[in-house]
Homo-oligomer: A and B are copies of this chain.
Amino acid sequence: AANKKLLFLPGDGIGPEVMRQVRRVIDWMDRKRKITFDVSEGLVGGAAIDAHGVPLSDATLADALAVDAVMLGAVGGPKWDNPTDYTKRPEAGLLALRKELGLFANLRPAVVFDALVDASTLKADVIRGLDILIVRELTGGVYFGEPRGITDIGNGERRGVNTQVYTTPEIRRVARVAFELARKRGNKLCSMEKANVMESGLLWRQEVTKLHQEEFQDVELSHMYADNGAMQLLKNPKQFDVIVTDNLFGDILSDEAAMMTGSLGMLPSASLGAPDADGNRKALYEPVHGSAPDIAGRDLANPCATLLSFAMCLRYSFNLDEDAKLIERAIQNVLGGGMRTADIMAPGMARCSTTVMGDSILREL
């Protein structure tokens, strides 16, 4: 069989240096596990703007559509902070990838590693052992809704509009992913919206409830208003197993949950499309953290989130659960041994660079 195809989009800032560690793991898999990937590479975000004037060229998009999975580093930086032209912003490249690849389900685990329980600003007993999964809708809602834009309304005044919109199939397909994931975990799903204020949220609640009735009665379903969700996450995060929510609430709530773990540099994400006739789905994997321009190019960044994203890639795109676990366990052991990049450094631990963290993980593998 032909090798599986991966597209690497290292992007901006620390993107390239954390992605380099994934290359090393791929080399190791090639040698030791006899699993070979065909890896191509492209530009996205600011790097693409510099080279082509757009954050995602048609050629790169075509490449992304052709491969089995995309691994992305990070996009953005002050250099490209174009405040007015949305099409010339690094983020636009990421949003176009999500939309064009149809990556409607964004899986964002918020996991607290035992070795890092003290890194959080939350008390240890509140977050020790935390393991929740946020499923964020990623191709709909206010991110893509029309009409949108800024118009003049006279007297030097303007009006800015965005449209929050969801349809039955959009809600059902992401809820289905969430229900199915819940079944493989704690069997509990909490859906969050503002059904008390927004009709789009009311539709969300009704459709999730209907799907639950129809196909997932064995999963325990609850609903929460998103503002209460933001509070309950803080009050008692372990009450949750899987959370499903829309694009905008998911953006905010998953960042809140990520920061609660205290280790942004450790958190991966997967963005999945619909399965085709053969059960294959388009997919993009990226760390939750950003491009961190302040430390870029200095071999300081934590590569773990990107390596864990690659582990998700092995699991969700290639069904290589065992290999995913090998990587996850290697990272846990290295942390257990006291190795720490700057972002997760703590007293008594051994501070190391991006490369040395990569070395240690490879040695562990």
Contact = CB atoms under 8 A, between A and B. Distances in A.
Contacts of A206: 83
Interface stretch (A63-71, A145-153, A305-313, A347-355): A145-153
B235 A255 contact: no
Given A162-B165, A164-B164, 11 more contacts: A86-B199, A121-B122, A142-B142, A150-B202, A158-B203, A160-B165, A160-B166, A160-B201, A162-B200, A231-B255, A231-B258
Contacts of A256: 230-231, 234, 256
A196 interface: yes
A84 interface: yes
A160 B170 CA distance: 11
Given A121-B122, A122-B123, A84 B160 contact: no
Instruction: Indicate the member of A153, A230, A259 with the most B CB atoms within 10 Å.
Output: A230
Given A122-B122, A123-B123, A165-B161, A226 B200 contact: no
Nearest to A155: B168
Interface in A78-128: 83-84, 86, 89, 91, 95, 121-123, 126
A143 interface: yes
Given A123-B123, A197-B143, A235-B121, A160 B255 contact: no
Given A163-B163, A204-B160, A149 B199 contact: yes
B148 A199 contact: yes
Nearest to A207: B158
A196 to B, nearest CB: 5
Given A167-B157, A228-B255, A231-B255, A150 B196 contact: no
Contacts of A126: 121
Given A121-B234, A161-B199, A226 B205 contact: no
Nearest to A229: B252
Contacts of A156: 168
Q: What band does the interface of chain A fall in when counting residues whose beta carbon is under 8 Å from B?
A: 35 or more
Q: Taking the full assembly, how many copies of this chain does it contain?
A: 2
Nearest to A197: B143
A119 to B, nearest CB: 11
Nearest to A157: B168
Contacts of A236: 121
Interface of A: 83-84, 86, 89, 91, 95, 121-123, 126, 142-143, 145, 148-150, 153, 156-169, 194-207, 226-228, 230-231, 234-236, 248-249, 251-253, 255-256, 258-260, 264
- Interface SS of chain A: helix, strand, loop or mixed? helix
Contacts of A196: 89, 91
A286 to B, nearest CB: 15
B164 A142 contact: yes
A164 B167 contact: no
A227 B251 contact: yes
Contacts of A260: 234
Given A163-B163, A231-B258, A252-B252, A202 B84 contact: yes
A121 to B, nearest CB: 5
Contacts of A203: 150, 158-160
Contacts of A202: 83-84, 150, 160
A231 B162 CA distance: 24
B157 A165 contact: no
Contacts of A168: 153, 156-159
Contacts of A162: 163-165, 198-201
